[in-house]
Structure 1
C-alpha cells in the first residue's frame, strides 16, 4: 500500500514538475519575443533618420544636376547622375526595411518572423554593396574635358591611380560584403553596431524561441 502511495506521490510530483517546466519555457519564450520586438523597434529611429537624410541628399543631387545641366560637363553629369541613382535605390531599400520592422508581430509563428529578419539581413547587405559602387564616380565626377585633353603625365598618373584604386575597392567590397564575412574585422568596422548588431541579436533570440517551442 505504501509503495502504491509513494508511486502516486512521485507521479504527481513529476507531473507538477513537467507543468512548471512548460510554464517556465512559455514565459521565457514570451519574454524573448518581447525582447525581439524591442530590439527591432530600437532600430526604427536610425532607419528613419537615414531615410530622411537620404531623401534630402537625393533631392540636393537632383537639384544640382538640373541646375548645372546646361553648363555641366559630361563627366560631372554622368558621375553624379549615377551617384543620385544609387542613393535613390538605397532610399527605397531603407523604406522597405522600415516596413519590415513595422509589420513584425511577436505573436506570429517563429518562421514568419525569421523570414522578416532574413529580409532585413539581406537588404542591409545589399544596400551597402550598392552604395559602394558609387566610390569611383566621386573621382571621375570632378574631371573636365579640358583636363582630359590637356592633361600631362602627372595628371593622368594621379587621376588614373585614384580612379583605379576606388574602382577596385568598390568591386572588392561589392563582392565581399556577404553574410559569411560578418565576423571579419573590416566587416564589423564597415557596418558598426547601430544597424547590424540589433539584427544579429534578434536573429539569435528567434533561435532561442524556436528551441523553447520545440521543447514544449
Structure 2
C-alpha cells in the first residue's frame, strides 16, 4: 500500500467517523426530545387534578363568601370571613398559575430547537416555585378562621398565649418559606421534602437531559 492509498484510506475513515458522529448526535437529540416530551406529559394528570380541585374550591368558596358579604356581613364572624377570603384569593392565584403551566406544557414541541424548550422548562420551573410560595402563604389563616369575638372577653391569658404562639409560628414559617423557596436551595433536605413527585421530578430530569445534550454538542 503506497502513501497515496494510505492517505485516501485515512480520509475515508475520518469521513465515516464524522458521519457516524453526526448520526449519533442526531439520534441522541431525537431520543432526548421524545424523553422530555414524555416526562412533561407525566406532569399533566397532577396539574389537571390541582386545577379541578382549585376550580371547585374557589367556585364554591367564592359563592359562599359572596353570599355572606352581600346578605349577612354585619352578623358574620369577621375572623372567619377575612381568613376564608384570603385563603380563596390565594388559591385563585395558584389556580391561574396551574392553568399557565398546563398551557406551557402543551406548547412544548419535540421539533422545536432545544434552546426554546429550555426556555419553556425555565418558565415551568419558575412558576412551580411561585405557586408553592403562594400556597404556603395560606398557613396563617388556617389558624385564624375559627377565631370569634367571645375570645376577646372570655379567654384567659394562657389560652391567648397558646393560640398566638401557633398563629405566629405558622406566620413565620410561611414568610420564611416564601423567601427561601428558590432554585438555589434545591439541594437542601427541606426543599427536597417539599418538591418531589410528579410536579417537580420530571421537570428536573428534563432540564438535566437537555443540558447533557448541549454539552454533547459542544
TM-score under structure 2 normalisation? 0.93
Structure 1 unaligned residues grouped into runs of 5+? none
Residue matched to 2:95 = 91
Structure 2 CA distance for aligned equivalents of residues 85 and 148 of structure 1: 27
Structure 2 unaligned residues grouped into runs of 5+? none
Secondary structure of the residue aligned to 2:109 is coil
Contact 1:79 1:138 in 2 (8 A): yes
Structure 2 CA distance for aligned equivalents of residues 134 and 100 of structure 1: 26
Residue matched to 1:102 = 106
1:137-148 alignment to 2 at 5 Å? 137-148=141-152
Structure 1 CA distance for aligned equivalents of residues 175 and 123 of structure 2: 23
1:64-213 alignment to 2 at 5 Å? 64-69=64-69, 70=72, 71-212=75-216
Structure 1 CA distance for aligned equivalents of residues 195 and 98 of structure 2: 15
1:29-69 CA distance string (max 9 Å, x none): 11111111111111111111111011111123223323444
Residue matched to 2:22 = 22
Question: How many residues of Structure 1 are paired with residues of Structure 2 in the alignment?
Answer: 214
Residue matched to 2:3 = 3
Structure 1 CA distance for aligned equivalents of residues 213 and 61 of structure 2: 45
Structure 2 CA distance for aligned equivalents of residues 148 and 68 of structure 1: 23
Residue matched to 2:41 = 41
TM-score under structure 1 normalisation? 0.94
1:45-94 CA distance string (max 9 Å, x none): 11111110111111232233234441421111111100000000000000
Deviates more, 1:202-211 or 1:8-17: 202-211
Secondary structure of the residue aligned to 1:201 is helix
Deviates more, 1:42-51 or 1:150-159: 150-159
Contact 2:43 2:202 in 1 (8 A): yes
Q: CA RMSD in A?
A: 1.4
CA drift of 1:207 comes to: 1.0
1:110-164 CA distance string (max 9 Å, x none): 1111111000000000000011111011111110011123321122111111111
